[in-house]
Amino acid sequence: MTETEKNNISYILNELGEERENYFNAISPPIIQTSNFAFNKVDDLRKAFENEASTYLYSRGINPTVDILRKKLAALDAAEDCLVFNSGAAAIFTSILANVKAGDNIVSVNKPYTWAQKMFNDILPRFNVTTTYIDGKNIENFERAILPNTSLIYLESPNSWDFALQDLQAVADLAKSENILTICDNSYCTPIYQKPIEYGIDMVLQSATKYIGGHSDVVAGVLSGSKEMIRKIFNSEYLCIGSGIQPFNAWLLLRGLRTLPIRLERITNTTKKAVSYLKQHQKVEQVIFPFDESFPQYELAKQQMTGACGLLSFIIKATDIHQIEKFCEDLQHILIAVSWGGHESLIIPKCSSIKHEEFDAGNSDHCMLRLYVGLEEPEYIIKDLEQAFDKMI
């Protein structure tokens, strides 16, 4: 098989890592639901202790079901290797913890994922690691922010609320010239629509809870990078924190992966229709979606992403918070819930994290709603939005 064939998405999702002759030629791989593995010889056990990264010893380390998944996810990211975690948050925490020491500085984009912010703001300062937040839309902001002790640049492109992008190639080039490690949260795009490693980003992570799982039934995360980096993290933080994915959840992700491209294709097409519908609606002030011509970084989005899927934001014309709350509650099919990437359409208003007395209808941020477009028929979703808009006074 040629290298090109090995990078083929169909090969990765259907064949890579699957050694059916080892399990009765079953099409669906087994869930090796075991905590530990036995040895015939003490010397074999001794060797396993010395090399836990490639010996089945204990499932906090490696596990055969998880290994199949790792091969596929690493290949999708165009990475040499990856680790799969019990959550996206665990992937974030581990990747950062593994790459900072006391006295270091991190340069992060503004408003990264909530629990990354929590780590930067509350946990790392206890260990004398500081974080400088910047508007990542502009490469000069990175150049200005870098300090002699900056060891890490943390990216999230696009952001999952306002979809702000960073020029991945430019940031990777800058970071390399300064000997700084780069990590990018790629949850929005998945590796189907963006491969940060191909632009020179060192490590890429994503919440597999979203599109990889795809059915709102598993929480998981992926961290990909070089063989050397993944091996280093496996032997220390990964085994220490002990937040690796469980075999059953790994199996659910393998199942999700089989249909990933087709789910994304469907969602992408429906999202286009939802964006067009919202853009023409008189009660909508603005639609924010990276693949819409009106998006300020549309050109960059087209340049480094091959697609955008189901997540978009819109600003509703409301005069008070109750109108926004009522709009969400009037939806008959679109559910009010966090997360995204599953089969079901979802909505979450920004005002759900704002106290009533602090709400300001003049602040467009307060009037923002995030819609996730799921796998339903496009008309079903649009009709639902329509009837909720109609009830607005």
Ligand X SMILES: *Cc1c(COP(=O)(O)O)cnc(C)c1O
Please give the residue ranges that form the binding site for ligand X (CB under 6 A): 87-89, 113, 156, 160, 185, 187, 207, 209, 219, 221
Closer by beta carbon to ligand X, 72 or else 370: 370
Residue 116 belongs to what H/E stretch? Answer: helix 114-118
Tell me the β-bridge partners of 85. Answer: 221, 244
Q: Which is nearer to ligand X, 105 or 206 (CB)?
A: 206
Q: How far is the CB of 277 from ligand X (least distance, A)?
A: 24
Question: DSSP labels for 275-303?
Answer: HHHHHH-TTEEEEE-TTSTTSTTHHHHHH
Measured distance CA(331)–CA(385) in Å, rounded: 7
What is the nearest approach in angstroms of ligand X to the Cβ of residue 370? 10
Q: Round to whole Å and give the CA distance between 49 and 58.
A: 10
Query: Distance (Å, rounded) from C-alpha 56 to C-alpha 54?
Result: 7
Closest distance of CB 160 from ligand X, Å: 4
Q: If you write DSSP's letter for every residue of 79-92 in order, what string do you get?
A: -SEEEEESSHHHHH
Minimum CB–partner distance for residue 333 and ligand X (Å): 22
The CA distance from 155 to 157, in Å, is 6
CB of residue 86 to ligand X, shortest distance in Å: 8
What's the token pair of residue 365?
Answer: 């941020």
Pick the closer one to ligand X by CB: 90 or 146. 90
Q: How far apart are CA 370 and CA 362, in angstroms?
A: 18
Nearer to ligand X by Cβ, of 253 and 321: the residue is 253
Examine residue 148 and say whether the peptide bond preceding it is cis (omega within 30 degrees of 0).
no
Smaller CB separation from ligand X, 208 or 388: 208
CA distances from 254 to 22, 231, 250, 326, 380 (A): 17, 22, 6, 39, 29
- What value, to the nearest 5°, has the Cα angle with vertex 268 and ends 12 and 111? 90
* Least spacing, CB of residue 298 vs ligand X, in Å: 20
CA 146 to chain centre: 25
C-alpha span between 193 and 190 (Å, rounded): 6
Q: Give me the least distance between CB of 28 and ligand X, in Å please.
A: 24
Tell me how far, at minimum, the Cβ of 116 lies from ligand X, in Å.
7
Amino acid at the residue 15: E
* CB nearer to ligand X: pick between 57 and 313: 313
Q: How far is the CB of 156 from ligand X (least distance, A)?
A: 6
Q: For residues 244 and 284, what is the distance between their CA atoms, to the nearest angstrom?
A: 43
- The residue to which tokens 């477009």 are assigned: 373
113 or 251: CB nearest ligand X? 113
**Maximum pairwise Cα distance, the chain:** 76
Indicate the residue among 252 and 321 with the shorter CB distance to ligand X.
Answer: 252
Residue closer to ligand X, measured from CB, 129 or 212: 212
Q: Cβ 208 to ligand X, closest distance in Å?
A: 7
End-to-end Cα, the chain, rounded Å:
63
Question: Nearer Cβ to ligand X, position 243 or 382?
Answer: 243
Of all residues in the shown chain, the one whose CB is closest to ligand X is: 88
Q: Give the gyration radius of the chain's Cα atoms.
A: 22
